[in-house]
A and B are shown apart, each in its own frame.
Chain A
Amino acid sequence: MKIIDFKTPARLEDAGRTLKELGEAGLLLAGGTSLVFNKGKAGRTAVDIRRLGLSGIKELPEAFLVGALTPVAELQEFRAKGWALDRVARAFATQQIRNMSTFGGNLARVFRWNDFPVALLALECEMTVRTLTGQDRPVRGSEFLAASPRRFLPDGDILTAVKVGRLASGWGFGYRKEVRTHADFSLATAAVAARVVSGRIVELRAAAGAALPFPKRLEKVESLLVGKAVPRKGLDEDAFLAEAREGCAGLPWKGECGFSDAYAAALAPVAVRDAVAAAVRDAQEGNHG
């Protein structure tokens, strides 16, 4: 990425206006950690919004309101009943990157290996976009994350906050990332939120990503697992493997880093299986609500 100039607007409105004026020559800069992967040779003017606030986590009755510029490290360190993103943050790159990267940056600049979109599909979320005219526009998370976020972020519009679902009593969360090395990008990611009542899965939201062009809810896995009995003791992960394989079949899995598509298709159900087991255990332990 060739940066030819930088601007540090004092207000969000100024940032939006500057980005609109610059058009393709402008670049919204938050943490900036993803720019190393952008090999574009065209010079861009960075519009650095890191000092505009938009950072912090606020507890709401049924959700958490997370500022788009909240560093991933803050998600990692935050603790509250029903909060699950600390587990996602801990598996995110390295501590240095967690200190630098922002939550919004990971959502707005979607690479297929990005971590938070998958988790947010399982937890459910709603984005807030500040438009160029100063309005706060809500966007359903499932729509925002289904394809390129650019659709909802025309030049000058800025993602400012995300409302993240809070796990209620009886719910559990599981998150798995298949990586070659500890801090590597994910080859396949799965996140699951499950509600267990009287030894049975009664609700389940499963999502996968990294090995798909965009993260996706796994409706078939969900329908196969809702109603399934889960023993309180001696839970066997492989109890979920058949459903994970059947539910993941036929999706357009893509291998990266030299791995074949067939390998990705075999790896994804393993991540899903592990995430389901982790979510069920989390629910059985009564960690939320």
Chain B
Amino acid sequence: MAETRKISFTLNGEKREFSVLPDEHLLHLLRRSGCKGVKFGCGEGSCGTCTVIIDGRAEYSCILYAFQADGRDVRTIEGVGDFDKPHPFQEALVESSGVQCGYCTPGMVLSAKALLDQDPRPTEAKAREYMDGVLCRCTGYEKIWTAFRKVSGGGSDGR
């Protein structure tokens, strides 16, 4: 039986210490730490419902060992916005009926946030490249894109 080890990382702006098993994935650590917005989907780094932002980049928490997050900055959907002060993309998703079943929404929001933090006005081509890691099982991508265009200035490729 493997022993637990101590690691620490910044979770949603707060430095925290965690006990982890060597083969525990970050997804499970985050969920047992109260971040239930991190969803389990495929468990093999394909569907994107487990997406979190680590050091400013979107990553899959279902295939990342928890110890790999040691010393890093981790942000989940709980650290992005809430009912009183949603992220602009969250607001746009509601206005565009882009939430649908909601299972992929945290991953979509975090993918968009990681891109928009790096480039607030990405071209449509760049946005499609950077948003390609989350699958919507409702297949309602058009509403999600409508919402994304609202917050990214329309995604004109001619800028």
Interface positions of A (Cβ within 8 A of B)? 1-6, 8, 29, 32-33, 35-36, 43, 46, 48, 50-51, 71, 73, 76, 90, 94-97, 99-100, 182-183
Q: Looking at the complex, which one of A3, A90, A99 makes contact with B65 (CB distance below 8 Å)?
A: A3
Q: Which of B5, B43, B64, B132 has the most CB of A within 10 A?
A: B132
B14 at the interface (CB under 8 A from A): no
Interface residues on B, range: 20 to 34
6 A-B pairs with CB atoms under 8 Å apart are A35-B63, A48-B68, A95-B131, A95-B133, A96-B59, A183-B132
Contacts of A97 in B (CB 8 A): 45, 60, 133
Q: Indicate with 1 or 0, residue by residue over B67-100, a CB within 8 angstroms of chain A CB atoms.
A: 1101100000000000000000000000000000
Is the beta-carbon distance between A94 and B59 smaller than 8 angstroms? no
Interface positions of B (Cβ within 8 A of A)? 2, 5, 22-23, 43-46, 48, 51, 57-60, 63-65, 67-68, 70-71, 111, 129-133
User: Is the contact region of chain B dominated by helix, strand, or loop, or is it mixed?
Assistant: loop
Contacts of B64 in A (CB 8 A): 32, 100
User: Is the contact region of chain A dominated by helix, strand, or loop, or is it mixed?
Assistant: mixed
Is the beta-carbon distance between B22 and A4 smaller than 8 angstroms? yes
Cα A71 to Cα B111 in complex, Å, equals 17
Please report the number of residue pairs spanning A and B whose Cβ atoms sit closer than 8 angstroms. 76
Contacts of B67 in A (CB 8 A): 6, 8, 46, 48
Residue of chain A at shortest CB distance from B3 = A5
Is the beta-carbon distance between A33 and B63 smaller than 8 angstroms? yes
Cα A50 to Cα B54 in complex, Å, equals 14
A40 to chain B, nearest CB (A): 12
Contacts of B131 in A (CB 8 A): 95
Q: Looking at the complex, which one of B48, B57, B68, B129 makes contact with A32 (CB distance below 8 Å)?
A: B68
Residue of chain A at shortest CB distance from B129 = A90
Contacts of A50 in B (CB 8 A): 68
Is the beta-carbon distance between A94 and B22 smaller than 8 angstroms? no
Contacts of B58 in A (CB 8 A): 95-96, 99
Cα A76 to Cα B57 in complex, Å, equals 14
